[in-house]
Amino acid sequence: MRVLLIGANGYLGRYVADRLLADPAVQLTALGRGDDADVRFDLASGSPGALTRFLDAVHPGVVVNCAGTTRGGARDLTRHNTVAVATVCESLRRSSCGARLVHLGCASEYGPSQPGSSTAEDAVPRPGGPYGVSKLAATELVLGSGLDAVVLRVFSPVGPGTPAGSPLGRLAEAMRRAMQSGDTELKLGGLGVQRDFVDVRDVARAVHAASLSAAQGVVNIGTGHAVRLREAAALLARVAGFGGALHELDTPPGYAAGGPAAARLAIPGPASEHGTVPPAYPYPDGCGSWQQADVRTARDRLGWRPRIGLEESLADIWMEAACRI
């Protein structure tokens, strides 16, 4: 099976590449903006015609799209998450290769959900911010393309390579700094939010399974179990051997009840002459205080179940943070 992987150097793409390369039946070609890609191509600015010619030359059986961005303003998010996918879909429609498309979406497309509920694929998407809007638009483009395509809606990916700017990445870095400086307490905010954390290596397994399946439409990829960030912080402290106290800061008004800010992790900055700098909340995902996947479709249509527990994922996050100088 010849597979074209787009975005192989990203957080998810790296593990998808490893998983596909481990399959001796797969011939993998990586396309991306970096110098280490097999083929350099910028989806956000490249023409569909150029990509079509490449597809006709390589003739992949499957195209996996892991490309995109989580940062930037609405214009950048739209360019890299939506326009790029429009280029992929148009190129595949023009091409004679007839490739299957596996596209990685995200749970931010759903937006906030009712606490205690599990979000199934037939839920009406109501993204709570520009990132979710840009990803939902991409999903709609894929679903309306007429291609043999499946969208994997990934919930909250964790594990090795977790970006330092993500909530758990920031938490691990804050804990490393506290242990390095001998601090006996760590003040954190925004820990009431609950998320469905799924290991990035399990996500890669799901992509592999989707590439081999005939599943179409949207498939949730999560664990089916929401975990409070407060519990994840305590588990990370145990994994790291942090014996100090974790103190939760009060959440500012308007940040607790279902709004985008409820999903933000705060690590206070350095103390000023007037005391501790008020915490910033810079990582909204627009998903409110609760999100949990209904993963029955992934089980039934892909034969996929998560295998890696949160403790192992956090141990790998901590290992990378602890080795950082």
pLDDT attached to residue 203: 98
What sign does the CA torsion over 309, 126, 230, 278 have?
Answer: positive
> Minimal CA–CA distance to 201: which of 65, 16, 64?
16
* Lowest-confidence pick of 148-162, 238-252, 301-315: 238-252
pLDDT attached to residue 250: 60
Within a domain: residue 40?
A: yes
Residue 278, SS3?
A: coil
- Range of 52's domain? 2-159+197-225+291-307
Report the alpha-carbon distance of residue 223 to residue 110 in Å, rounded.
16
Within a domain: residue 267?
A: no
Q: Would you say 306 and 198 are in contact if contact means Cβ atoms under 8 Å apart? A: yes
Within a domain: residue 91?
A: yes
Q: Would you say 147 and 89 are in contact if contact means Cβ atoms under 8 Å apart? A: yes
Within a domain: residue 85?
A: yes
Q: Would you say 185 and 247 are in contact if contact means Cβ atoms under 8 Å apart? A: yes
Tell me the per-residue pLDDT of 117-136, one tens digit each, with 9 for 90 and over: 999 999 999 999 999 999 99
Tell me the per-residue pLDDT of 21-71, one tens digit each, with 9 for 90 and over: 999 999 999 998 887 789 889 898 899 999 999 999 999 999 999 999 998
Tell me the per-residue pLDDT of 71-99, one tens digit each, with 9 for 90 and over: 899 999 999 999 999 999 999 999 999 99
Neighbours of 283 (CB within 10 A): 20
Q: How far is CA 315 from the centre of its chain?
A: 19
Within a domain: residue 236?
A: no
- Please name every residue paired with 296 in a beta bridge, in sequence order, or none if there are none: none
The confidence band for 325, taking pLDDT boundaries of 50, 70 and 90, is low
**217: phi then psi, degrees, rounded to nearest 5:** 85, -150
Report the alpha-carbon distance of residue 157 to residue 12 in Å, rounded.
8
What is the domain count for the chain? 1
Within a domain: residue 18?
A: yes
Report the alpha-carbon distance of residue 105 to residue 217 in Å, rounded.
11
Q: Would you say 294 and 120 are in contact if contact means Cβ atoms under 8 Å apart? A: yes
Beta strands at 185-188 and 217-221: parallel, antiparallel or unpaired: unpaired
- Please name every residue paired with 150 in a beta bridge, in sequence order, or none if there are none: 102, 217
Within a domain: residue 79?
A: yes
**Portion of the chain with pLDDT greater than 70, in percent:** 89
CA 193 vs CA 126, 167, 266, 310: distances in Å:
18, 11, 12, 16
Q: Would you say 75 and 113 are in contact if contact means Cβ atoms under 8 Å apart? A: no
Spell out a b/e string for 181-215, using b for 16 or more CB atoms within 10 Å of the CB, else e: eeeeebbbbbbbbbbbbbbbbbbbbbbbbbbbbeb
Average pLDDT of the residues in 135-143: 98
The one-character DSSP state at 119 is B
Report the alpha-carbon distance of residue 266 to residue 3 in Å, rounded.
40
Q: Given the structure tokens 């350095």, which residue do they identify?
A: 270
Q: Would you say 266 and 192 are in contact if contact means Cβ atoms under 8 Å apart? A: no
Tell me the per-residue pLDDT of 257-316, one tens digit each, with 9 for 90 and over: 333 333 345 544 333 333 332 333 333 578 989 999 999 999 999 999 999 999 999 999
Neighbours of 30 (CB within 10 A): 21
Within a domain: residue 130?
A: yes
CATH code of the domain containing 93 = 3.40.50.720
Residues 6+ apart with CB under 8 A from 214: none
pTM of the model: 0.89
The confidence band for 15, taking pLDDT boundaries of 50, 70 and 90, is very high
What sign does the CA torsion over 240, 246, 252, 255 have?
Answer: positive
pLDDT surpassing 60 at residue 227: yes
pLDDT attached to residue 251: 54
pLDDT attached to residue 175: 93
